[in-house]
Amino acid sequence: MAKLGPNDPCWCGSDKKYKRCHFARDQLRILQGQATEQTPPPPGFRAVKPHALSPRRAVPEHIVRPDYALTGRPANPRSRQLLKTPEQIERLRRACKLAREALEVAKAAIGPGVTTDEIDRLTHEAYIARGGYPSTLNYHGYPKSLCTSVNEVICHGIPDLRPLEDGDIVNLDVTIYIDGVHGDLSETVLVGTVDQASRDLVTTTYECMMRGIGAVKPGGMIRDIGKAIQEHAESRGFSVVKAFVGHGIGEQFHMDPQVPHYFDATQTRELVPGMVFTIEPMINQGTWKHVTWEDQWTAVTADLKRSAQFEHTIAVTERGVEILSLPEGMAQPFAH
């Protein structure tokens, strides 16, 4: 294949100039001593491209809003309140339950031909019907009510008018603000008939999340979580994204502590009953590195191989861990 010039159309078919599309990623791979992405993509390859967005959806006046809803910026600095009171945890349980209900609405609509914008509409309406505000809406300017990350999109994919295609995978990241707190969770869903390699990725990613949760216990350390996740992912031939981590959650969308999903020996913060945070590993088929689109939100794998993510919100308890975002009726898997 002839070498592309900066102003040539990109090899991926995005209709953008090469310099504004895959040039930076290809240069990164050259520096890493890998083959560049100018080689022809494999049969059936379909790079995800940005599509048009619908107007921002309205929220009824009676819905209580977080402090950033109008300005796009949280009014207060990131909280370092590590421990939640029993009353706060009870509110978080309810928020996570309602977020789970909204996620199930979104999952039920997934199928070839459905746009991620339509998933956004349904999820937005599900929040409102439950009296909640879509936590992502105008958070640091984010324009939609959930994140829909398709195929090579690692996270923060913006719902748009692209129809889902048979064989896609899509992560649905749902967060609701209600009763003064945020409830957060996500799942990666298969669209139609999906190839075995992608199915293995999705299965392993779920297992990674559960192994990370299983590593939580009073007296342990934050680094135990990432160690369990990284060991399992790499044993299956996958990599763990390092740029995006789990986070504390409560009255603020993102709080301390930060929770890396890879082993970091410096993460020695003790796990203490009353902590509430998310565990949300992003696992890739290829490199763990990412590139961000021009929208400054959409993070994609640097080699355009697929990525998957699962997320639960958990509370550290006296006896171990409680998953606050489990489906209705599901028993706690780590009950003691």
Residues 6+ apart with CB under 8 A from 284: 154, 238, 239, 240, 241, 301, 305, 306, 307
Mean pLDDT, residues 129-143: 98
Report d(CA 139, CA 78) in Å as an integer: 14
Report d(CA 125, CA 118) in Å as an integer: 11
| pLDDT of 35 strictly over 50 | no
Q: Which residues pair with 270 in a beta bridge?
A: 221
**Chain centroid, CA 93 distance in Å:** 20
Domains of the chain, CATH where assigned: 66-323 (3.90.230.10)
- CA–CA distances in Å: residue 148 to residues 110, 120, 166, 236, 285: 11, 8, 16, 25, 19
Question: What pLDDT was estimated at residue 21?
Answer: 73
User: Using an 8 Å Cβ cutoff, are 110 and 267 in contact?
Assistant: no
Print burial letters for 75-84: b (CB count within 10 Å at least 16), e (below 16). eeeeeeebeb
Mean pLDDT, residues 206-232: 98
Residues 6+ apart with CB under 8 A from 40: 1, 11
Mean pLDDT, residues 15-29: 65
DSSP letter at 243 equals S
Q: Which residues pair with 173 in a beta bridge?
A: 147, 186
The mean pLDDT value of the chain amounts to 91
Q: Using CB atoms within 10 Å of the CB of residue 2, give its burial: 0 to 12 exposed, 13 to 18 middle, 19+ buried.
A: exposed
Mean pLDDT, residues 29-58: 69
Question: What pLDDT was estimated at residue 24?
Answer: 66
Return the closest-CA partner of residue 247 out of 319, 179, 175, 297: 175
